[in-house]
Amino acid sequence: MRTVLVVFVGFLGTVVQGTWVAGTLPTSDINLVVSIHLGLTRTPVAGSIAAFISGLITDLATGCPKGLATGQSTIAFFLSYSLTSRFLVRGAPIEALYVTAVSVLSSLYASLVLAWLPARAFFPPPTVLAVVVHIAATSLLAPVVFAIVRRIDQAFERPKHRLI
């Protein structure tokens, strides 16, 4: 249930971002941050399914090329999951730095996919400035999203029983 709520937070953030923020402020990739959190805290099966569904919902909600956000969120999940045994990602500065690194790789992936698409008139390739602003906005918003989904995890945490 808590994984479903985390995916819902990512979807709600995507809808709010697409409805009110688009065109006025630099947009961040809330779905990417949620997928990174899933990779850092969930098991491979539940987290990968949740990241895939979160990316698919983002694809449908934002109108981007189908499969772009799905691929980004799934790759971000597996990258985060594979690095959890190597790195300790705790604290707002480390989380922002980690999200920056994953966001750079994700933007590179998205730029390659958009350059590969034959219909460039519908989805023009992003400019370098737009990509840098997008990465910065995602990195600055990451600690806030991490705090929200951590609250959800704490609410569903099972009490630890002590043996006497």
On whether the CB atoms of residues 33 and 99 are closer than 8 A, the answer is yes
Whole-structure pTM value: 0.77
Higher pLDDT pick, 17 / 130: 130
Coil, strand or helix: which one is 4? Answer: helix
d(CA 45, CA 144): 26
What pLDDT, on the 0 to 100 scale, is given for residue 8? 79
Predicted confidence band of residue 30 (pLDDT cuts 50, 70, 90): confident
Distance from the Cα of residue 81 to its chain's centroid: 13
Sign of CA pseudo-dihedral 107, 139, 63, 125: negative
On whether the CB atoms of residues 67 and 108 are closer than 8 A, the answer is no
- Phi, psi for 79 (deg, rounded to 5): -65, -45
What pLDDT, on the 0 to 100 scale, is given for residue 123? 61
Q: Is the pLDDT of residue 24 over 70?
A: no
Q: What residue ranges define each of the domains in the chain, with the CATH number in brackets?
A: 2-155 (1.10.1760)
